[in-house]
Amino acid sequence: WGYEDYQDLMAVVDEALKQPYVDAERTGIYGYSYGGYMTSWTIGQTDRFKAAVCGAPCFDLESFYGTSDIGHVFGRSQFGSKPHEGEEWYKAHSPSTFAHRAKTPTLIVHGEEDHRCPIGQGEQMFIALLDAGVETEFARYPGGSHLFLRGGPPAHREDFLNRTVGWFKDHLGGAE
């Protein structure tokens, strides 16, 4: 969670940037669920991306442990301990610890009825980014579960797609 995964993903980005058709000045990052975790982690580690879209992030692992429908079981198996037994690990691997360093304009998208990565995770991220002075937008989808992008109301899915594309167009520019 965080460190090695981040290094692996940045190595892939570095390789992609070697291609003549990839513009390092127009790179964005997107992730949802664990990808949302990695997106929120990444923008606290580097400002190399010009825009981010972060969906249903796990932003603070201690609060995730206590509020997710799987947090207390998943947390012990993934994180190796309960929060009070591994305070330093939870802090070191939570994107919330590093959010004050973020600079990347970020759109956060989240279903309000997401019990896997509860809406509070997105809310915490939104406030942390605002406090850091980051251009941030938060799109909340009423009644949206963790899987609203697959089976939610068509209007929500359409809005999500339009917002995501619009965010990247606005911050990365259109196709040349």
| 136 DSSP β-pair partners | 106
CA distance 82 to 147: 27
Chain centroid to CA 110: 10
Helix (H) or strand (E) holding 106: strand 106-111
Q: pLDDT digit string (tens) for 128-137?
A: 999 999 999 9
CA distance 145 to 105: 25
Q: Which of 77, 71, 38, 33 is nearest to 55 (CA)?
A: 33
pLDDT at 32 over 60: yes
| 108 DSSP β-pair partners | 54, 138
State the chain's mean pLDDT as an integer. Answer: 95
The mean per-residue pLDDT over the stretch 110-135 comes to: 97
What is the pLDDT at residue 176? Answer: 56
What is the pLDDT at residue 100? Answer: 98
Q: pLDDT digit string (tens) for 53-63?
A: 999 999 999 99
Q: How many CA atoms lie within 13 A of 111 on its CB side?
A: 20
CA distance 63 to 54: 18
Quote the pTM value: 0.95
Task: Spell out the residues 6+ positions from residue 132 whose beta carbon is closer than 8 angstroms to its own.
Answer: 99, 100, 101, 102, 103
Q: Which residues are catalytic?
A: 33, 146
Task: Spell out the residues 6+ positions from residue 173 whose beta carbon is closer than 8 angstroms to its own.
Answer: 26
